[in-house]
Amino acid sequence: MITVEELIIKIQKNFVNIAVCVICVIVALRIYSAQNNRVEAIRAETDLESQKSAVLHDISNYESRFKKLHGQVNIKDDTAVINTLNTIAKDSQVKIIVLRPMPQEKISGYIRYPYSMSIAVDNYHMLGKFISVLESHPFMFSIVSMNVEADTSDESKRYKMQVNLEISTILVKD
């Protein structure tokens, strides 16, 4: 059996080895926690950069859509607008009675081109279809005012309503 003195001598001989091992474990834990903190910081930075990249991608998409829309807005002239209105009316089974350009209005950043228009329609559904197609068109038409009246003229028995509209479209200044 080992006596206490022999045990103390063995511990004294291995004390340096045990102390070195304990110090190595402590240093290793500190290095590990420091590296773990760095890894977490890099992950957070990577996530932030990924979010920035997604935002930049969205901005790029919006910019290309804006350029496309800007091009569509700025290709208009009076004949193109009038031809477009005639086509929309024909497709919507609406009869244009009067179509008259009004003086343009210069507003900061764009020019507004208004038109006075009188149309004849058979029912509210056709009028709704005409307005829907008109306002969803890439020329960006908008209805400024509208007045609906019963059509009492004998000439147009097919059409039951006469509608007076003021519509406008815009041209962006460069």
Hey, where are the domains in the chain?
1-73, 78-172
- pLDDT higher for 154 or 117? 117
Identify the pLDDT of residue 155.
Answer: 59
Please give the share of the chain, as a percent, with pLDDT higher than 90: 43
Distances (CA, A) of 139 to 32, 90, 96, 125, 126: 63, 17, 19, 23, 21
Low-confidence winner among 107-116, 132-141, 148-157 (lowest mean pLDDT): 148-157
Query: How far apart are the C-alpha atoms of 35 and 5, rounded to whole Å?
Result: 44
* pLDDT, averaged across the chain: 85
Identify the pLDDT of residue 73.
Answer: 60
Taking only the tens place, the pLDDT of each residue in 28-65 is 999 999 999 999 999 999 999 999 999 999 999 999 88
pTM of the prediction? 0.55
Examine the pLDDT at 98 and tell me if it is beyond 60: yes
Cβ-count burial 45-80 (b if 16+ within 10 Å, e if not): eeeeeeeeeeeeeeeeeeeeeeeeeeeebeebeeee
Report the pLDDT averaged over residues 111-129.
Answer: 89
User: Can you say how many angstroms the Cα of residue 171 is from the centroid of all Cα atoms in its chain?
Assistant: 21
Query: How far apart are the C-alpha atoms of 113 and 127, rounded to whole Å?
Result: 22
SS3 158: coil
Taking only the tens place, the pLDDT of each residue in 133-142 is 998 888 788 8
CATH 3.40.50.300 for domain 78-172, yes or no, is no
Identify the pLDDT of residue 51.
Answer: 95
Identify the pLDDT of residue 139.
Answer: 79
Taking only the tens place, the pLDDT of each residue in 62-97 is 998 887 776 666 566 667 888 889 999 999 899 999
